[in-house]
Structure 1
Amino acid sequence: MDRQVIEEQLNRVLGSPHFSETTRMKRFLSHVVNEALAGRSDALKGYALGVDVFDKPDDFDPTLDTIVRVQANKLRSRLDLYYGQEGRADPVRILIPKGSYAPVFELAFDPDAADATTPADPPDPRTSLAVMPFDNLSGDPGQEYLADGLTEEIIAALSRFREIRVLSRHVTYRYRGAGRDPREVGADLNVTYLVEGSIRHWDENLRVTAQLIKAATGEQILSDAYDRDLSALSLFEVQEDIAAHVAAEIAEPHGFIHRTGPRPRDAETQALDAYQCRLLATEYWREPSADHHRHVRDLLERATKIDPNYAGAWGMLAIIYGDEVRGGYNYRKDPPPFERALAAAERSVAIDPLNATGLHALFLTRFHLGDFTGFEAAADMAIRANPNYPDMLADLSICCAMRGDLTAARSHIERAVTLCPDPPGWYHASTCVIAFMDGNFEEALRSAQQIGQAYWNGAELFELMCLGQLGRGAEASAIAAAFRDRVPDIDKYLSTIFAIWQVPAGLAGQIREGLHRCGVRSESRDTVAIR
């Protein structure tokens, strides 16, 4: 990438409100970018940054003084906020990957190919929200930095959910420490919801409370408290953990805002259908069915015609297209479902490269098509875009399991369940498969029994394969009968499922063996071509 293009982007970022008021962050970002441009990325280590950027003495020890690591995480958060708001259409993205201090530069689109006559964006369809400055109840003014840091972390975590429009901290900072009527603040900021809260710090203990307020009425509709022991974790880890839980409870696909959703009189968009489709699609995954799938697919297709630049609708539509194969719902052959899914996912990511829904659809579709290099690249981008998106983590978990990485698979599903305490039943398909692959068939059976009918079709498969491996096939007669009723052609069903999910031959053999022991006979078939 041309050096001048990167330098112009750096100046654009430094001139934004997210950086204009903080000399230290400007100096940090400028230093790492300029070092990278000079070919000295390898020298960007904790010690060197402490001395060169933060004026630490020569005996500075980054393992004892965590200033570089803490400030690097804050820098990542500010960059995420910038690119989630005013920098959304910038041609270049400057990113600092976790685990490194060296920046990477990504081209969002080709500025020379941009059409200068592109019409203005349609009205923003998203639910609007403002995070008010958290109150410091510690009795020590010196603890204000804790409240400020947590406020910033929660804004960054919420901004990763692209269906929520989150105001910048600089917009709400003027309310810090002032008594405020939520109805007046909501009207002043023109938002639907406010997030308010407080921190209390004593000894090694930290208590954070957070509330979701409906701005129009001042009604407190969600409240929670988080207690953490600061002797066990670093302050930044605690802030990041609490912010992730607050954001997920409010904004994740099964969170409060999407469960309730705006009514027509509350909506802030003329393209109301587009946003309602997003909400309907969210609920579809709790209890998928052919009728619900058809309805949501039709609505999302209409939504993308109403608002062709709605990245979230394109991403959701890509997943719905994939369910024509995954669930066998309303299959349309021309063009094939996964080809349509891939085109829709790529369209979503082209519109908004940080939209986790589009990236989720992209890595999932590439996985199904056997493009594992493309899958890994898109999955990495999805995690970077939103590590707190439970549905995406649950799907990534099963993909990692099929690729043989049970450590990553287990980590992703555990985080998904932590962030979504009331997960849809299909999350348990991943925990079942992981335990089954580990040879822990009792644990796998417990997970299988929690799937229910939230799985697309043939959920009985999971119980049967576990019972068979446990030598308890005699208990499975009723389950086997239900499975045969739902799945008339078991051979075709298994071959298709194994092809879609890239099931390794050894695992496929174990599954068939478990079914046979339960009296469900199947024969191996050639791999089904999936498009």
Structure 2
Amino acid sequence: MTSAGIDKIGPVEPTPEDIQVQLKRILASQEFRSPTRARKFLEFVVNETLEGRRDHLKAFTIAQAVFGRDVNFDAQNDPCVRIETGRLRRELERYYLVVGGNDPVVITVPKGGYVPFFELNSAIEPEVSVLSEELSTADEHTELDTPQPAIIADNANTPSRRPMHWLVAGVASIAFLALLAAMLPGLRSPDMKEAMATAVGSRPTVVVERFDTVSDGTLASNISEGITDEIIDKLVPFKDVVVVTDMPPRQAETAQTRPPSFALQGSVRLEGDKLRSSARLIRRADGAVIWANNYDSDLRAQGILETEAVVAKSIVSAVARPAGVMFQTGAPNMAASWDAYSCTPSYDSYRDEMTVQAHDAVKSCLQQATERSPADANAAALLSLTLLDEFRFRFKLNTKPTAATLKTAKELAERAVKLDPRNARAFLALMLANFLGNDIVAALQAGQSAYAINPKDIEVASEYGLRLSMSGKWDSGCELISAAVSKNAGPGGYYEMEMALCAFMGGDAQAAELWARMSNLDYNPLRRLILLAILGGLGKEEQAREQLDWLKLKSPELVRNVRREVIWRFARPEDQELFFAGLRAGGMQVDEQPAVN
């Protein structure tokens, strides 16, 4: 068995083409006695891994893609993915025992995850490739181009059983070391070191200390440890912060590193079935307690595991969510430190206010941050989102977005994803950029990745839900939007308008009117346009005429290009025509072709 690594070249590992051939061989075999769903499961995880998306193979994404579950899928309450994975492992083992013993490639799904592992069959002597022959006869000064290794699952502790592997790996290692030596001067350069250090040090660091146990007994001690672990697990997806669990109180500081920003401390007190959890956030610079709260729980009502999860979620939401206390206090002066950390409070305030002045301020801050710290994924992601707001909220922000702005926003999003493939906001920005660029498939893929990384991020969930809805997946998309509305996410009235669309497209025009009136975005031409279609569908001609008169007076360009605007937002022709029918019933003339300015 072999493992992925940078010291592999040539045909030592199975190529993607070999893996695809083996996949087809397994699926075509009568001895692979699995139902259609299991076959789809295997095909999905193999192809996703070969496409470089192995990090996204989570229960949630598999449940949606393979099992048809919606966005409310809960892996804890619905074990379908875990059960099917166990069956698939057993069926693959049986296949290789019965008929696949001499197959050139072995595909397995190791326990503990859903990422498949690919290896050459150790029972078969590998052929000596042309490249191997060239290596044995090449002049010592000959330069060789090292091919990329095959895409396989990491398993660094797995030894090779074939002597040939060590020979080829040794040659590749020498080549890699030479390449590394050539790169070292660049890695040592001050600019590179500063960029790398700034990317890590630009975010606040929170030290999560184990919660103290005020009560005696093993149960209280276990609960304190459980809450601490849950907090860490729930903090890690927030890419605006760095989470550590063990840091000396007097860590040495350098010019390139930022000292620990906060310490999260707490305690638990257990009296019978009553649990009180106390938490506080300490600013380490001066020891000030900047936030504290108590949480009372009844273990009989929730149980220990659920209680730990609920308490941890409440604490994390209070301190680390966008606009949480961690970003409301202790932030350095933006003029003195241009980085994502110092810009984050400004960004969160801007999203609450959504004014031209706030937009210009945070845009300037983030532009300085990305110039100073090009390796900071979060700064790039936030700047991309800020630029994309010039499209999404152009009537509110009074902007005139251009193709160049969209191009820059997409490049920033792509850079952020490359720098940090676990950054949900980076994928959120990439989703919006692709959607605005009319690449719906790529947009939804990026949105699914963002939601899989951090489904608890309300902005991610709601924006993904909106793009799902606009692409025609109204049921699943509107569920996510509904959750955002219930938690007061986004600029005021923004998601209420989306709920109005959800109701309208679902055939409930009365509910749609209620949602549209709740949004109270009288200044927004799109809100007026949506309300016009809704009122037209309800047959309220006089009220519809009021909206149309306002649009003709305040936004004549939208009226002239209404077909283009609607087609740009709705992916499915049937959704477009339903909306057009409402507009026509409200008295608006809809041209067959978009007007040209």
TM range (shorter): 0.5 to 0.7
1:490 corresponds to which residue?
558
Q: Report the 3-state secondary structure (helix = DSSP H, G, I; strand = E; otherwise coil) of the residue aligned with 1:194.
A: strand
Q: TM-score, normalised by structure 1?
A: 0.66
Shift of 1:355: 1.3
* Superposition map of 1:89-128 within 5 A: 101-103=113-115, 115-116=183-184, 117-118=186-187, 119-120=192-193, 121-123=196-198, 124-128=201-205
The structure 2 residue matched to 1:278, chosen from 328, 344, 352, is 344
State whether structure 2 residue 300 is matched by structure 1 residue 223: no
RMSD of equivalent CA atoms: 4.5
Work out whether 1:466 is the aligned partner of 2:534: yes
CA 1:403/1:138 → structure 2, altered by over 3 Å: closer, same or farther?
farther
Q: Which runs of structure 2 are paired with 1:445-524 in the superposition (5 Å)?
A: 445-453=513-521, 458-475=526-543, 479-492=547-560, 494-519=562-587, 521-524=588-591
Give the distance between the partners of 1:421 and 1:139, measured in 2 at CA.
41
- Match in the other structure for 1:385: 453
State the shift of 1:497 in Å.
3.6
Aligned with residue 374 of structure 1, among 442, 446, 459: 442
State which drifts further: 138-147 or 358-367: 138-147
Deviation of 1:271 (Å) = 3.5
Aligned partners of 2:227 and 2:312 also within 8 Å: yes
The 8 Å contact of residues 356 and 385 in structure 1, kept in 2 or not, is answered as yes
Shift of 1:220: 4.3
- Distance in structure 1 (CA, Å) of the matches to 2:113 and 2:390: 43
SS in 2 for 1:103: coil
Whole-Å separation in 1 of the counterparts to 2:421 and 2:410: 15
Give the structure 1 partner of residue 260 of structure 2.
191
8 A Cα contact 2:338 2:365, kept in partner: no
The superposition leaves residues 264-306 of structure 1 with CA deviations (integer Å, 9 ceiling, x where unpaired) of 2xx8x96435444333333333343455444433432232111
Do 2:466 and 2:477's aligned partners in 1 also have CA atoms closer than 8 Å? yes
Residue 131 (1) aligns with residue 208 (2): yes
Shift of 1:201: 5.8
Counterpart code for 2:343:
C
Give unpaired runs (5+ residues) of structure 2: 9-45, 55-75, 86-108, 118-150, 154-172, 250-257
SS of corresponding position for 1:126? coil
CA contact (8 A) 2:472 2:575 kept: no
Match of 2:26 in 1: none
Judged with a 3 Å threshold, the aligned counterparts in structure 2 of structure 1 residues 466 and 154 are, in CA distance, closer, same or farther, namely: farther
In the TM superposition, residue 420 of structure 1 has moved relative to its aligned partner by: 5.4
CA shift in 2, pair 1:513/1:387, >3 Å: same
Cα displacement string for residues 362-412 of structure 1 (whole angstroms, at most 9, x for unaligned residues): 122223333333223322321232222111111101111123323421342
- Higher mean Cα deviation, 313-322 or 392-401? 313-322
Q: Which of 368, 371, 382 matches 1:316?
A: 382
Cα 1:482/1:350, change in 2 over 3 Å: same
The alpha-carbon deviation at position 122 of structure 1 amounts to 3.9
Residue 252 (structure 1) aligned with residue 311 (structure 2)? no
CA distance in structure 1 between the aligned counterparts of 2:518 and 2:221, rounded to whole angstroms: 44
- Which residue of structure 2 lines up, in the alignment, with residue 306 of structure 1? 372
- 1:129-168 correspondence to structure 2 within 5 Å: 129-136=206-213, 139-166=216-243, 168=244
Instruction: Provide the rounded CA distance (Å) in 1 between the counterparts of 2:470 and 2:590.
Output: 21
Q: Distance in 2 between matches of 1:171 and 1:283?
A: 31
Amino acid at match of 1:359: F
Deviation at 1:6, TM superposition (A): 9.4
Query: Contact 1:314–1:345 at 8 Å: present in 2 too?
Result: yes
Change (3 A) 1:456 1:242: farther
Equivalent pair of 1:394/1:430 in contact (CA under 8 Å): no
Q: What SS is found at the alignment partner of 2:207?
A: strand
CA offset at residue 315 of structure 1? Answer: 1.0
Q: Is the 8 A contact 1:287 1:454 kept in 2?
A: no
Output aligned runs, 1:329-348, within 5 Å: 329-331=398-400, 333=402, 336-348=404-416
Mapped partners of 2:360, 2:564: distance in 1: 21
| Alignment partner of 1:5 is 2:5 | yes
Q: In structure 1, what residue type is equivalent to 2:348? A: T
Q: 1: CA distance between counterparts of 2:526 and 2:357?
A: 17
Equivalent-residue separation in structure 1 for 2:343 and 2:367 (angstroms): 9
8 Å Cα contact 2:563/2:590 also seen in 1: no
Question: Structure 1 stretch 363-372 or stretch 132-141: which is displaced more?
Answer: 132-141
Instruction: Note if contact 2:278-2:292 (Cα within 8 Å) is conserved in structure 1.
Output: no
2:245 to 150, 157, 169: 169
Distance 2:245 2:372 in 1: 32
Task: Give the distance between the partners of 2:260 and 2:220, measured in 1 at CA.
Answer: 29
The residue that corresponds to 1:11 in the other structure is none
Residues 385 and 409, structure 2, Cα contact 8 Å, conserved in 1: yes
| Distance verdict in 2 for CA 1:446–1:523, change over 3 Å | same
Determine the C-alpha separation between the residues in 2 that align with 1:432 and 1:230.
Answer: 40
Q: Distance in 2 between matches of 1:7 and 1:230?
A: 55
Amino acid at match of 1:508: Q
One-letter amino acid matched to 1:367? F
- Matched residues in 2 for 1:206 and 1:422: separation? 34
> In structure 2, how many angstroms separate the alpha carbons of the residues matched to 1:522 and 1:103?
54
Q: Give SS of 2:462's match.
A: helix
| 8 Å contact kept, 2:562–2:594 | no
Q: Which has more radius of gyration?
A: 2
For residue 458 of structure 1, give the secondary structure of its aligned residue in structure 2: helix
Does the 8 A contact of 1:131 with 1:169 survive in 2?
A: yes
Equivalent residue pairs, number: 427
